[in-house]
Structure 1
Amino acid sequence: MTEKQIERVKNKISKIKKGLAADKKHWGGYYHDGRGLRYLPPELYIKIQDYSGCLRYFNWFNKNFPEDSCYPIFLFEWAITLFKTKRIKLAENKIKHTFYSNTYLLDKFLDKELLHFDKSEDSNWEYEQLIEHFKYSKDQEELNDFTEWLQLFMKNENFLEFANEIIELKDKIKNEPIGEIHSDLVKKQYRLLEQIS
């Protein structure tokens, strides 16, 4: 990117931050952000390879939106940022969280065949269609180190156990009628998420 292009991206980030500040002021000190502005800066920071700035943004996000479940692409961007800022254990957990939120995204990034499971897709973020909006690829030169790490991590026993457990739980939840067993399975699924959050 040229200096001028980088400056334009920085200006976009600045406008988004101003929009979020105005939103907070409008709602009496609380964020509403019905437009979803809070999800936009990471992509821009990553575009200009400002991973330190992106990490500061995620720290701000975590402080101001602690109950936000995030959407899978946002979680993936968070994982990239953690990896690029040498927070490997946190990056591992964020990759697990990404997989928990959407089982297709990591394979899409790595250009692998998408595996279709007979599983419950609890929210719109879990559907395969979400990956149509996914702009990242293993072929991006600036993500070569991340790609290499991710490929190794996804072969790691720790990740494979987690992934298999998630898929198995989602399959059981889909096929279990509403009732006590179904509720217990959902609780178990959320406990898995709590362990990595």
Structure 2
Amino acid sequence: MKAMLFDFDGTLADTLPLSFNAFKSVFKQYDNREVTNEELVAMFGPTEEGIIYTNFANKPFVPDAIQGYYSYYEKEHHTECQCDQGIIDLLLFLKEHGVKIGVVTGKSRRSFDISAAALQLDSYFDVSITGADVVQPKPHPEGIHKALHTLGIDSENAIFVGDSNADILAGKAAGLRTYAVQWLSTCQSLTYNVEPDGLFTNVMHFRELLEKEVVIHGH
């Protein structure tokens, strides 16, 4: 294992509740409608701008709503979102063993940068591919291929970890060993169209699996 690629929202960062609240706020304010978490998850795939643009009935308000989304997301980040210590420890463990760490997220570059900075995660990542960097979002494997290409690492030497059905489909389509996680307060999917290579509800258990591998392969 030379690289580990992660999804971001719901996998490395408990940002989904914040994202849901930011969307609800702008749908109510600028499109005069209430949306549920389930409705929002069904809209996921494109970046935040794409979600607002595609799903707003009130198109003239789209630019204001996008700005409103980012304002809310940035302003409330510190109150609504903390980093999980187990995840920090996992990233440190990977770094110590020379494993490259990448993020493949459907988020826009702008919201990813806000979160990575607010949670002080940016120093861990060797590459980050956002929704703005691909033509085809997950479940298409384009982002994963792009991250591996940037790192110069083959798919058989990498693992992908994510919380959504689209993540598992993308990881499998890219030919990576792919693990599903449900270890934060909110995740996007509880069931998957294809079987992941494992499902973890606890960061420590995942790390134990990796520790065995690292020992076996003598890194």
**Is the TM value for this pair above 0.5?**
no
> What TM-score results when the alignment is normalised by the length of structure 2?
0.27
Quick one: higher RCO (CA 8 Å, sep 6+), 1 or 2?
A: 2
Larger radius of gyration between Structure 1 and Structure 2: 1
More helix per residue: 1
